[in-house]
Amino acid sequence: MRSESAVTTHGTLPAPGPEPSCPICLHGGPRFFAEGSDRLFGFASGDFRLFRCSSCGCVFQHPMPCDSAIASFYPESYWWEEDRQPFTRIAHTIAVLEKNYREFVLMDHVRFLEHCARQAQGPGRMLLDIGCGSGAFLHLARRRGFVAHGLDLSAQAAAIAQRQYGLDVRQGGTDSKIWEGYSFDFITMFHVLEHLTDPRGALVFAAEHLKPGGSLIIQVPNVSSLQARLFGTRWYGLDVPRHIINFTPEGLNHLLRKAGLEGKAVTRFSLRDNPASLASSLAPRLDPIGRKARKPRAGAISRALTEILYFALVLTALPFAWLESALGFGGTLWAQARPA
């Protein structure tokens, strides 16, 4: 496994092959940003080069990975699933607390969806979550009256969502016709665009499946945030190599326009993502997803102490995460968009 400092500092290392252009604004002449490996999981092999666009500021991988390579970046345990058969009382308590905390912070996303619904032109509650993972957000949205549907490229994630929550989640990408003939009042894409080589195509797909007056809700990490500037190449939000493109407000706004959508990126605080991103930047070995993917052999007590330590770190990061968002430089970008 590579060390946690496997990402180089900014430099002038030349890119192999033709000079890259920005996949968002198509501007040429980006500058080399970093070369790094899989810092979070140590799962994907090889090194990956990142470049920053000198126009919109987005940071992107070059060369772009192919679909089969991207699929290999994700361990089987990437998608959260409730532990239904914990072996000990301590393990059971950890599982219950983890589930309750996960649902508590995800309700922040649901409240934003409800805020958008109150502003909507129509009364519809049909919802499609693209990149829905194992379905926890959809499960909570359904509790609040939304008619929940999901789409995820991972067959494993779709199966977990169906088994765990009984959700209508279908496996496929945004280049598929799996939801052909359906239209939705709301489509959500939480932390999806940064994983795609063609985010514009995903936005066009979403726009084509919106009802008249419907809204697309997007969330991505903000590479212009204070925490991104503070940690640089060690920022959790870069997540090499799973994040193909890392967005700035200018880049996301440009992408929305290219996809024929009206909307504006804002730095709204995310209870689920902003403090956790800070905590995992400071101590990536404590990150729960990373620990699960590495499959440690720690006992129940050791695991409990690690969970407590990470949670304490998240609580400590909370004031700073809220402050950076209040100043307009938060760790996540949000956008509510409609077809132009």
Q: How far is CA 155 from CA 83, 144, 161, 188, 218, in A?
A: 19, 26, 10, 19, 23
Phi, psi of 236 (to 5 degrees): -60, -35
pLDDT at 85: 55
pLDDT at 88: 65
Q: Where are the beta strands (DSSP E) in 112-260?
A: 126-130, 147-152, 168-171, 184-190, 210-221, 245-246
**Residue 31 within a domain:** no
Q: In the chain, what is the straight-line distance between the N-terminal and C-terminal CA atoms, in Å?
A: 47
Q: What are the pLDDT tens digits along the chain (340 aa)?
A: 233 333 333 333 444 556 789 999 999 989 999 998 888 887 788 889 999 999 999 999 999 998 888 888 887 767 666 655 555 676 667 677 778 888 899 999 999 999 999 887 666 899 999 999 989 999 999 999 999 999 999 888 899 999 999 999 999 999 989 999 999 999 999 999 999 999 999 999 999 999 998 999 999 999 999 999 999 989 999 999 999 999 999 999 999 999 999 999 999 999 999 999 999 999 988 888 777 766 655 666 777 788 889 999 999 999 999 999 999 999 999 999 999 8
**Residue 133 within a domain:** yes
Q: Are 159 and 140 in contact (CB under 8 A)?
A: no
pLDDT at 209: 96
pLDDT at 8: 35
**Residue 173 within a domain:** yes
**Residue 40 within a domain:** no
Q: Are 217 and 336 in contact (CB under 8 A)?
A: yes
The amino acid that residue 138 corresponds to is L
Picking from 107, 171, 111, the residue whose alpha carbon sits closest to that of residue 139 is 107
User: Kindly report the CA angle at 284 between 279 and 285, in degrees rounded to 5?
Assistant: 125
**Residue 115 within a domain:** yes
Q: With H, G, I as helix, E, B as strand and everything else as coil, classify residue 127.
A: strand
**Residue 30 within a domain:** no
The residue behind tokens 């880049």 is 251
Helical segments of 120-240, H only? 136-143, 155-165, 199-208, 226-231
pTM of the model: 0.88
Looking at the structure of the chain, the number of domains it has is: 1
CATH code where residue 80 lies: 3.40.50.150
pLDDT at 285: 86
**Residue 112 within a domain:** yes
pLDDT at 77: 67
pLDDT at 302: 78
Q: Are 245 and 195 in contact (CB under 8 A)?
A: no
- Angle of helix 249-258 relative to helix 199-208, nearest 10 degrees, comes to 50
Domain boundaries, position 256: 76-339
**Residue 257 within a domain:** yes
Quote the CA–CA distance of 24 and 233 in Å, as a whole number.
21
